[in-house]
C-alpha cells in the first residue's frame, strides 16, 4: 500500500502498468536478439536488422502521422480516430509495406524475391501493430497495451525460433516468421482498426459523415505530416548507421553492431520508456482540456523521473559492459564492448529530448521540431560517412550519441528562450 501511494505521487498514472507492458516484451526481445544471432548467424541477422530499419523508416513516413495525431488529439472526441475515413488507415499500411519491399533490395545491393516479400509483410505487420498499440495508449488503456505487447513478444520469440530450427538459418525464414508472429499478436485487438466494410464502396455513408471525416482528416494531416517527416528523419538518425555498416563493412559487421545496439537500447527502454508512455497521453489530454500549466508540470515530472532512473543504469553499464558484450556476441566481444556506454548515453539523450520537446509538440510547432531534427541528422550522417570507413562500428555508436545531443541542445535552447511565454490552450 505504501509503495502504491508513493508511486502515485512520484510517477505519472499508469507508469507501473506500462512498465509491466515493457518488462516481459522487453526481456523476450533481448533474448530474441541473442537467440537469433546464434540460430541465424550475424550475416542473416544483419539482413533482418537492416530490413527492420527500413520498415520502421517506411512505417514512420506512411503511418507515423496517424500515430502521432492519435496521441496529440487524445481526449478530443470531435477529432477521434473513429472519425477518420477508413481507407486512410489501410492505404497508409499498404504504403509502408510497398516502400519497404522496394527500398530493401536497393540498400542491400540486391536480394532474392523471398527477402523482398518478407520485407513487405514485416513492414505491414509492424505498422499495423504499432498503430493499434498507439490507439490503445491514446485511450489511456495500459492494461490492453500490456496484453498486446506481451503477446507480440512471446510470439515474436517462439515462432521465429521454431522456424529457424525447422527450416534452417535464412534471412527470408526469419522475416516471414517475425511477420507472422506480429500479425498474430494483433488479432486479439483488431477491433481497434476500422472494418473493411467502412472503406468507400463497401458500405453506405451519409453526406454529414463524409463531411466530418474530411474535416477530421484535414486536422490530423495538418498536424501529422510534419510529425511523419520528423519520425522518418529520427529513424535515419538512429538506424542509418547499421545500413551504412552493411554497405561498407558487410552484413556480418552490421548484424553484430545491430545486435548489441538492440540489446542495450531495448534494455534501456524497459526501464525508461514506460514513463514516456504513461505521461505523454496525459500531457496531451490536459493540454487539450485547456489546463496548460498542469500539462507542463506533468511533463517536468516525467523529466525528473527519467533522470533519477538513468543514473544507476549508467553505473551498471560501466561495470558490466564486457560481460554484456560477451553474452550478446560470443565471437570477438572485446571489439564491441566499448560501444555499450555511447549506445546507452545516446538512447538516454534521445529519450530526454522526446520529453523536452513536448511543448513544441503541444503547440503544434512541428516544423520547428523537424528543422531541429534535420540539423541533427545531417550532422550525424556527415560524421557517419567520414568516420565509419575509418573507425568502424565504434564510430557509429558515438555519432548516434552526437546526433541525439545536437537535437536535445536545440530543444533545450528553444525551451529556455520561451520559458516565460504565457501557456496557451489547445489549438
The answer as to whether 424 is a domain residue is no
The answer as to whether 361 is a domain residue is yes
The answer as to whether 246 is a domain residue is yes
The model's pLDDT over 290-337, given as tens digits with 9 standing for 90+, comes to 887 888 888 888 888 888 889 998 999 889 888 888 888 766 556 788
The answer as to whether 103 is a domain residue is yes
Calculate the alpha carbon distances from 334 to 249, 323, 342, 392 in Å: 18, 10, 15, 14
Number of domains in the chain: 1
Place of cell 508511486: 7
Count Cβ atoms within 10 A of the Cβ of residue 427 and give its class: 0-12 exposed, 13-18 middle, 19 or more buried: exposed
The confidence score (pLDDT) of residue 201 equals 42
- Residue 354: closest CA among 413, 277, 256, 285: 277
The model's pLDDT over 389-423, given as tens digits with 9 standing for 90+, comes to 999 899 999 999 999 999 999 999 987 887 655 45
Q: Is the pLDDT of residue 366 over 80?
A: no
Q: Where are the alpha helices (DSSP H) in 329-357?
A: 340-356
Q: What are phi and psi of 151, to 5 degrees?
A: -60, -40
DSSP letter at 333?
G
- Residue 223: closest CA among 423, 377, 366, 10: 366
The confidence score (pLDDT) of residue 30 equals 81
Rounded CA-CA distance 14/1 in Å is: 16
Q: Return left, alpha or beta for 426; rule: phi > 0 is left, psi -120 to 50 is alpha, else beta.
A: beta
The answer as to whether 413 is a domain residue is yes
The confidence score (pLDDT) of residue 425 equals 45
Q: Taken in order 226, 232, 237, 238, is the CA torsion positive or negative?
A: positive
Count Cβ atoms within 10 A of the Cβ of residue 311 and give its class: 0-12 exposed, 13-18 middle, 19 or more buried: exposed
The confidence score (pLDDT) of residue 224 equals 81
Domain extent at residue 294: 2-417
The model's pLDDT over 197-208, given as tens digits with 9 standing for 90+, comes to 444 444 445 566
User: In this predicted structure, which of 200-204, 346-350, 385-389 has the lowest mean pLDDT?
Assistant: 200-204
The answer as to whether 423 is a domain residue is no
The answer as to whether 422 is a domain residue is no
Q: What are phi and psi of 203, to 5 degrees?
A: -165, 155
Rounded CA-CA distance 29/182 in Å is: 12
Amino acid at each position: 500500500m505504501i509503495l502504491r501511494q508513493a508511486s502515485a505521487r512520484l510517477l505519472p498514472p499508469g507508469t507501473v502498468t506500462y512498465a509491466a507492458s515493457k518488462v516481459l516484451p522487453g526481456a523476450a526481445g533481448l533474448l530474441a536478439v541473442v537467440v537469433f544471432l546464434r540460430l541465424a548467424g550475424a550475416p542473416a541477422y544483419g539482413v533482418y536488422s537492416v530490413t527492420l530499419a527500413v520498415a520502421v523508416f517506411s512505417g514512420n513516413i506512411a503511418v507515423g502521422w496517424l500515430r502521432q495525431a492519435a496521441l496529440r488529439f487524445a481526449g478530443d472526441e470531435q477529432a477521434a480516430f473513429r472519425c477518420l475515413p477508413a481507407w486512410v488507415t489501410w492505404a497508409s499500411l499498404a504504403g509502408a509495406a510497398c516502400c519497404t519491399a522496394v527500398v530493401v533490395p536497393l540498400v542491400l545491393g540486391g536480394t532474392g524475391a523471398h527477402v523482398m516479400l518478407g520485407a513487405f509483410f514485416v513492414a505491414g505487420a509492424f505498422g499495423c501493430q504499432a498503430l493499434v498499440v498507439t490507439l490503445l495508449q491514446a485511450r489511456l488503456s495500459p492494461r490492453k497495451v500490456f496484453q498486446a505487447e506481451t503477446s507480440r513478444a512471446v510470439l515474436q520469440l517462439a515462432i521465429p525460433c521454431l522456424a529457424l530450427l525447422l527450416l534452417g538459418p535464412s534471412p527470408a525464414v526469419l522475416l516471414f516468421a517475425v511477420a507472422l508472429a506480429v500479425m498474430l499478436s494483433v488479432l486479439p485487438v483488431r477491433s481497434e482498426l476500422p472494418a473493411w466494410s467502412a472503406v468507400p464502396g463497401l458500405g453506405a455513408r451519409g453526406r454529414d459523415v463524409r463531411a466530418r471525416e474530411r474535416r477530421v482528416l484535414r486536422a490530423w494531416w495538418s498536424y501529422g505530416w510534419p510529425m511523419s517527416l520528423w519520425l522518418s528523419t529520427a529513424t535515419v538518425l538512429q538506424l542509418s548507421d547499421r545500413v551504412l555498416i552493411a554497405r561498407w563493412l558487410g552484413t556480418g559487421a552490421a548484424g553484430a553492431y545491430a545486435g548489441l545496439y538492440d540489446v542495450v537500447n531495448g534494455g534501456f527502454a524497459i526501464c525508461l520508456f514506460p514513463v514516456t508512455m504513461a505521461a505523454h497521453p496525459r500531457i496531451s489530454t490536459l493540454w487539450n482540456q485547456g489546463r496548460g500549466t498542469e500539462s507542463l508540470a506533468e511533463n517536468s515530472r516525467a523529466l525528473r523521473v527519467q533522470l533519477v532512473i538513468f543514473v544507476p543504469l549508467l553505473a551498471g553499464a560501466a561495470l558490466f559492459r564486457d560481460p554484456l558484450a560477451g553474452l550478446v556476441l560470443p565471437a570477438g566481444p572485446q571489439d564491441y564492448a566499448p560501444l555499450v556506454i555511447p549506445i546507452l548515453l545516446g538512447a538516454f539523450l534521445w529519450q530526454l529530448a522526446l520529453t523536452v520537446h513536448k511543448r513544441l509538440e503541444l503547440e503544434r510547432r512541428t516544423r520547428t521540431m523537424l528543422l531541429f531534427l534535420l540539423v541533427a541528422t545531417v550532422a550525424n550522417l556527415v560524421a557517419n560517412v567520414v568516420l565509419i570507413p575509418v573507425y568502424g562500428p565504434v564510430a557509429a555508436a558515438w555519432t548516434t550519441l552526437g546526433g541525439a545531443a545536437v537535437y536535445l541542445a536545440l530543444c533545450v535552447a528553444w525551451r529556455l528562450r520561451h520559458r516565460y511565454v504565457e501557456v496557451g490552450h489547445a489549438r
